Amino acid sequence: MRALFRYINQYTTVSEEDFQVIKRYFIHEKLKKKQCLLREGEICRYVAFILKGAMRQYYVDEKGVEHVINLFVENWWAGDRESFVMATPSIYLVDAWEDCDVLLISRENVLKLRRQFTAFSELLLKLDERNAIATQRRLTYSISFSAELRYKSFVDNYPYFVARFPQHIIASYLGITKDTLSRLRKKLAGD
C-alpha cells in the first residue's frame, strides 16, 4: 500500500490519516502470469493499480490476430475505461504479462472517494490530463509518423516497456510487423 501512498502524493497531498480511509476502498490481489483481469464480453468492474508486475490490454480481431492497445507496468492503472464507466461489455482482454500484485478499486468506490476527498478528485483531474496528452500523442504517432519515428519516440518515452516486453508485443503496440521492428532495431543500433 505504501506505493499507492507515494504515488498519490506525487500528484496531490494526502495525509496519513486520510490515506488510512482511502486504502480501505482498494482490494489487494495477486495475478499469475497470463491470468486475465478482464475478458472480452465481460464488464470491467475494477481498475487495477499495479504494485508489481506488467500487464497488457489487447483486442482480438475476427481473424484471431491480437492487437496490443496498451501496456502497463508498476504505478499504472490497468483496465478498460469505457466498460468501467459505462458498465458495457468490453471488447478487450487485459491480462498479466508477469506475476502481478495489484490494488483493485470499483467504479462505485472511485466515485465515493471523489466526493469525500478533494485531493482524490485533484488526483483524477491530473491523471486524466496526463492521459489525454499521452493518448493524443499516441494517436498522432500512429496516424502520421513513419515506423522509424514511431519506434524512436516509443523508446524515448517508454524505455521500461522495451525492457519488459518481447518484440512481438512491442511491434503490435506500434502497429508494425515484427520484421520491420527488428530491422529498425538493427538500424538504430548501427546509427
Partner 1 sequence: MQALREYLNQYVSSLISDEEFEVIQSYFVHKKLRKKQYLLQYGEICKHMAFIVKGAARKFYLDEKGVEHVVDLCIENWWAGDRESFAMSKPTIYYIEVWEDTEVLLISRANVAILEYECKPFNEFVLKLDEKSHIAKQKRITSAISFTAKERYEDFAACYPEILRRFPQHVIASYLGITKDTLSRLRRQG
Among 15, 20, 35, 131, binds partner 1 (CB under 8 A): 131
**Which residues touch 35 (CB under 8 Å, ≥6 apart)?**
95, 96
| Cα–Cα distance, 64 to 41 (Å, whole number) | 15
Least distance (Å) between residue 174 CB and partner 1: 9
Q: How far is the CB of 30 from partner 1 (least distance, A)?
A: 27
Say how far apart CA 68 and CA 175 lie, in whole Å: 8
Q: How far is the CB of 146 from partner 1 (least distance, A)?
A: 8
Q: Is 156 in the site for partner 1 (CB under 8 A)?
A: no
Residue 8 · residue 117 · CB < 8 Å: no
Q: Grid coordinates standing for 140?
A: 498522432
Least Cβ distance, residue 61 to partner 1 (angstroms): 6
User: Could you say whether residue 157 binds partner 1 (CB under 8 A)?
Assistant: no
Angstrom CA distances, 129 to 22, 25, 99, 187, stand at 22, 23, 29, 35
Cα separation of 156 and 188, whole Å?
13
Q: Which helix (H) or strand (E) holds 28?
A: strand 27-31
CB of residue 3 vs partner 1: minimum separation in angstroms? 23
Minimum CB–partner distance for residue 9 and partner 1 (Å): 19
Amino acid present at 101: D
Of positions 139, 160, 162, 177, contacts partner 1 by CB under 8 A:
139
**Which strand (E) or helix (H) includes residue 81?**
helix 81-86
Q: Give the interface segment with partner 1, choosing from 13-21, 97-105, 119-127, 161-169 (CB under 8 A).
A: 119-127
The SS3 of residue 33 is coil
Kindly indicate which of the ranges 17-25, 33-41, 46-54, 126-134 contains the residues binding partner 1, using the contact rule CB under 8 A.
Answer: 126-134
* Binding string, residues 69-88; x marks residues near partner 1 by CB under 8 A: x-----------xx--xx--
Q: Which residues bind partner 1 (CB under 8 A)?
A: 59, 61, 65, 67, 69, 81-82, 85-86, 91-92, 114, 121, 124-125, 128-129, 131-133, 135-140, 142-145, 175
